[in-house]
Amino acid sequence: MSNTSEAGRQPGLRFRERFPLLSLITERLVLSVILLFAVSVLIFGGVEALPGDFATTYLGQSATPQAVANIRAELGLDKPVVTRYFEWLGGALQGDFGKSWASRNSVSEQVGKRLGNSLFLAGFAAIIAVPLAICLGMLSVHFRNRMPDKIINVVSLAAISLPEFFIGYLLILYFAVNFGIATFPATVYEDMGFLERIQTIALPTATLVLVVLAHMMRMTRAAILSVMSSAYMETAELKGLSAGRAIIKHAAPNALAPIINVVALNLAYLVVGVVVVEVVFVYPGMGQYMVDAVTVRDMPVVQACGLIFAAVYILLNMVADILAIVANPRLRHPR
């Protein structure tokens, strides 16, 4: 770039100055696509590096050399790795994720069902956990270092310290086996009504809420507390605002960015990180689906699941960043 040109002449820069948010989103979207490519290469390489291919692992102990050879030939496993990757990529770019090697069903259809289940459970847990965590965080700031604060802290820390499967088992033992008031297993089916569905997922939802609550709650508390110690909060207090009003009006908006970040992280976890809860409650979500596929090296399924998981993470992080910028005017106009 020549030193005589003005910054305003560069179309990219002008665009960026005029629409800082839009350009940020575009930039992020382009990066996301590149990232997804990288993820697909990594997953493909990772599964390739695992010992055994689909034919041997799927047939397991009952594999005969002939049957293994037949499966390899049919699925084209005898072709070079690079060829197979680009064949898969060609299909994926046209929206065709292929068929599961194992069940020979369409991957998109299967993933659709499982993803729906995962999002349903995660969404439901989030609807309860996020407001609850933020309210509890604010409460514990309000009662800082007094009894309610301590109780909230101890209980939520205890919940996060227990492994999630253990919380699950405890809930099953008391609510399903001993009292018999909750549904178990929490398996949902296509032909289930909405209310029945909610009733069925009560226990896994409760488990997930307990698992993610403490993290978000403590971050809320810490963020608000750090804001509270700043000069403008002192001013607010000196000018006679009540504590509650000061928290909601002055502290909360400034503390939003870190809270949004931790919420996004936990939401992503709720979608992609709950295999154990799925297994314990026999819930047909994405996690179990992917684990089953990895076990037999069912590449099309593994790829589709991996990409969706990556996309969920990327998307939620992007939303978190954007919201943080929107919430904080200072970030909107970078110098």
Stated as kind and residue range, the H or E segment containing 121 is helix 107-142
Distance, first Cα to last Cα, the chain: 20
3: contact with other proteins by CB under 8 A: no
Q: CA-CA distance, 146 to 303, in Å (whole number)?
A: 50
Q: Which of 47, 140, 246, 298 binds other proteins (CB under 8 A)?
A: 298
12: contact with other proteins by CB under 8 A: no
**Smallest gap, in angstroms, from Cβ of residue 199 to other proteins?**
13
Identify whether the C-beta of residue 75 lies closer than 8 Å to the C-beta of residue 98: no
Q: Which of 23, 32, 57, 317 binds other proteins (CB under 8 A)?
A: 57
* Positions 34 through 53 that interact with other proteins (CB under 8 A): 50-52
Q: Which residues pair with 106 in a beta bridge?
A: 99
Q: CA-CA distance, 149 to 268, in Å (whole number)?
A: 27
Token representation of residue 75? 């699925």
Residue 71: CB atoms within 10 Å: 18
SS3 93: helix
205: contact with other proteins by CB under 8 A: no
Nearer to other proteins, 4 or 64 (CB): 64
Number of residues forming the site for other proteins (CB under 8 A): 51
Angstrom distances, CA of residue 257 to CA of 136, 140, 260: 18, 19, 5
**Smallest gap, in angstroms, from Cβ of residue 310 to other proteins?**
20
Nearer to other proteins, 10 or 103 (CB): 103
Q: Which of 44, 281, 309, 313 binds other proteins (CB under 8 A)?
A: 281
Nearer to other proteins, 97 or 184 (CB): 184
Q: CA-CA distance, 206 to 125, in Å (whole number)?
A: 7
106: contact with other proteins by CB under 8 A: no
- Binding segment for other proteins (CB under 8 A), chosen from 2-10, 102-110, 238-246, 312-320, is 102-110
- Binding segment for other proteins (CB under 8 A), chosen from 7-15, 78-86, 132-140, 286-294, is 286-294
**Smallest gap, in angstroms, from Cβ of residue 238 to other proteins?**
58
Nearer to other proteins, 70 or 226 (CB): 70
* Positions 112 through 151 that interact with other proteins (CB under 8 A): 113-114
Closest by CA to 93, choosing from 133, 56, 40, is 40
Tokens 């502290």, located at residue: 251
279: contact with other proteins by CB under 8 A: yes
- Binding segment for other proteins (CB under 8 A), chosen from 40-48, 104-112, 145-153, 248-256, is 104-112
SS3 91: helix
How does 219-247 read in b/e, with b if 16+ C-beta sit within 10 Å? bbbbbbeebbeeeebeebeeeeeeeeebb
Q: CA-CA distance, 325 to 332, in Å (whole number)?
A: 6
Start-end of H helices in 247-285: 252-272, 275-281
Contacting residues toward other proteins, per CB under 8 A: 50-52, 56-67, 70-71, 74, 100, 102-105, 110, 113-114, 169, 172-173, 176-177, 180, 183-185, 187, 189-190, 279-282, 284, 288-289, 292-293, 295-296, 298, 301
